[in-house]
Amino acid sequence: MRLADSTPTPTTSRPSPTEESVTQRSQYAVESLIDYARAQIYSVKYDQVDRTWLILFSDASIMKALMIALVSPLALVDVLHAELDTAAERLPGTSTNWDLTRVAATIGVLDTALIMTSGPGGRAAVIHSLIDELTATYNQWDTSCELFAQYRHLEPRLPATVVGLVSADRTVPIWACPTVLDFSDYIRACKTPGPQPRVITGAIDHWPALTTRPWSDLNYLYRAVGPARLVPVEVGRDYTRWDWTQRLVTFAELLEKYVLPPRSGPPILTTTGSSEAEVGYLAQHNLLAQVPVLRNDLSVPDYCYSASYIDSPGGSEDPSGPSDPLVNAWFGPAGTVSPLHHDPYHNLLAQVVGYKYIRLYSPDETSNLYPFPSGESLMTNTSEVDVEQPDLNRYPRFRKARYVECILGPGQLLYIPPYWWHYVRSLTTSFSISFWF
């Protein structure tokens, strides 16, 4: 993709709405379509969104991205030029490279469309094609990867404070590389009281993400994902807190602001001016669909194709599991937390980088775990209790709840049966992939 020839300055004046050309009116129209589609998408739960609005948002976003890339910045109206201003704030240093800015802005618009809609009806392929070309151009001009030289590899070690964290009598049993048949028989045969959690070893040691293209290599991740790519980040301790929020940040900001230890030097690709220490977590995001090159670094475990039913807590068989495994990434610093909750699927959690502490409770313990009440919250699959600092005066039955626990390390899988409650805390910088099946 060739950018339009023009080099504006930050003070360049742009046409007012009264001086609009046909091109400029088209820009306003595209932005209006995006705003309208976004409003429709946010008006209902995501699984109830009419596909029409996802298509409209995708198509209008592709048009907007092409306008930013191909229309002279001098002819961009304010609502589109704002994308350039935002992208400029993310660039490293103080000097403004307007070509780099426009590429970053265009990538941002396309990434937002992928994150919001997944690119329905073949649109994902179009968006990926555009992003690949733009990212290649960006990487030719960008030199900020040199700032990551001192952190080339993440090799987080378990802190001494974890000694004694896991009780021997509550440790999740370890299963050394079971065959697919053995695993399938286990989750099918154990219908009363149901299969139990297991730590599986030796099953993913061959993944390039653990060997030849290790995700502990930040320079590799930086280039494979792309510094200008936008990713969703959860900000705050966990999603049950009042101050928890979500925002889109560049992948470089995720690394610089949230993942890397503090260091001197100017921040790169930041989207806000805040210097407050925040906990940021790329959580439950299908990063492999957004950045397909990462798919080559792992494979879906064969175990994920061994379940044909899911027993619901009521005892009935639920055949409505996903037709294909649902794959999500979890990447962040030490201290990130997933509060105690349950999911309706079989789950294999693969640990790629770092360590996590995980506590699990059987569905039989639900009455002792105080789920958020139905009708008062959408979080009925989540416990009100802070697992590691419980208010036992408010939640007295929690002290009776029986659990198992483990520390999950690189190269290990944790099998979590459907509807088992689980609490997860990162002990170090951590990168995990979950497979729901």
Number of domain units in the chain: 2
Residue 44, token pair as written in the block: 């209902």
Q: Is residue 218 part of a domain?
A: no
| Residue 197 and residue 415 in contact, taking contact as beta carbons nearer than 8 Å | yes
Residue 65, token pair as written in the block: 């991205």
Q: What is the per-residue pLDDT for 269?
A: 38
Strand order in the sheet with 356-361: 337-341, 421-426, 356-361, 404-408
pLDDT digits (tens), the chain, 437 positions: 666 554 444 444 555 555 567 888 999 999 999 999 999 999 999 889 999 999 999 999 999 999 999 888 778 888 888 898 888 887 655 445 778 889 999 999 999 999 999 999 999 999 999 999 999 988 888 766 565 666 678 878 888 888 889 999 999 999 999 999 999 999 987 667 789 999 999 999 999 999 999 999 998 999 899 999 999 999 988 888 888 999 999 999 999 899 986 643 433 333 333 334 688 999 999 999 999 999 999 999 999 998 655 555 655 555 456 889 999 999 999 999 999 999 999 999 999 999 999 999 999 999 999 999 987 678 999 999 999 999 999 999 999 999 999 999 999 999 999 999 999 999 999 999 999 99
Q: Is residue 31 part of a domain?
A: yes
Mention every residue, 6+ apart, whose C-beta is less than 8 A from residue 396.
none
Q: Whole domain around residue 136: which residue ranges?
A: 17-142
| Residue 174 and residue 148 in contact, taking contact as beta carbons nearer than 8 Å | no
pTM metric for this prediction: 0.88
Residue 414 shares a structural domain with residue 387? yes
Q: Is residue 181 part of a domain?
A: yes
Residue 165 shares a structural domain with residue 131? no
What gap in Å lies between CA 283 and CA 239, rounded to an integer? Answer: 11
Q: Is residue 29 part of a domain?
A: yes
CATH number of the domain encompassing residue 382 = 2.60.120.650
| Residue 196 and residue 417 in contact, taking contact as beta carbons nearer than 8 Å | yes
Q: What is the per-residue pLDDT for 315?
A: 53
Q: Is residue 236 part of a domain?
A: no
Residue 410, token pair as written in the block: 């690189």
Q: What is the per-residue pLDDT for 174?
A: 98
Residue type for 333, please?
Answer: P
What gap in Å lies between CA 340 and CA 342, rounded to an integer? Answer: 7
Q: What is the per-residue pLDDT for 99?
A: 83
Residue type for 11, please?
Answer: T
Residue 94 shares a structural domain with residue 209? no
Residue 266 shares a structural domain with residue 324? yes
Q: Is residue 242 part of a domain?
A: no
Domain end among 83, 115, 142: 142
Q: What is the per-residue pLDDT for 329?
A: 99
Residue 394, token pair as written in the block: 């408010």
Q: What is the per-residue pLDDT for 266?
A: 37
Residues composing the chain: 437
Q: Is residue 54 part of a domain?
A: yes
Instruction: Name the nearest CA neighbour of 256 among 165, 159, 151.
Output: 151
Using CB atoms within 10 A of its CB, is residue 278 exposed (0-12), middle (13-18) or buried (19+)?
middle
